[in-house]
Structure 1
């Protein structure tokens, strides 16, 4: 059996879904990867948060949530928002 490398699905670039980007951005915003905190913040169930993190880890081929955040930042997928300057 041969594989057609011109197959549309084969050549389609894999990307994170908007929901997964939202989760990564929420981690930065809340400064945590805690399942319960993120579930409450995003209005999702803890099981959904765990599933989405598993997808992120597999997509990025990393082993932990912090490594996923670091990798996403390094690849330019997400950015930390600059801290607001204190006004005296």
Structure 2
């Protein structure tokens, strides 16, 4: 659980989701390169996000997280 009790995403998952919005992609290879992680780690983290948020796709997860204010502001980048 994140420092915000209403936000179920860990800091690492928040960082992934925020990067996905900034880069305008959910592509594992692109995000892995940007975040210095492996593509398989990115895929695993997205699967965790889908389960935590109870949504069916990455885009739904991004929309929900954005609406609820669960992502980092861009100034933190």
With the shorter chain as reference, the TM-score category is: 0.7 to 0.9
Q: TM-score, normalised to structure 1's length?
A: 0.72
Normalized per residue, the structure richer in helix is 2
Q: CA RMSD in A?
A: 2.1
Q: TM-score if structure 2 supplies the norm length?
A: 0.81
CA distance in 2 between partners of 1:14 and 1:37 (Å): 25
Q: Is the 8 A contact 1:25 1:78 kept in 2?
A: yes
Instruction: Please identify runs of 4+ aligned residues in structure 1 that moved more than 3 A.
Output: none
Instruction: Give the paired residue count.
Output: 70
Structure with the greater relative contact order (CA < 8 A, sep ≥ 6): 1 or 2? 2
Q: Secondary structure at the match of 2:47?
A: helix
Kindly name which structure, 1 or 2, has the bigger radius of gyration based on alpha carbons: 1
Structure 2: runs of 5 or more not aligned: none
Unaligned runs of 5+ in 1: 1-11, 82-88
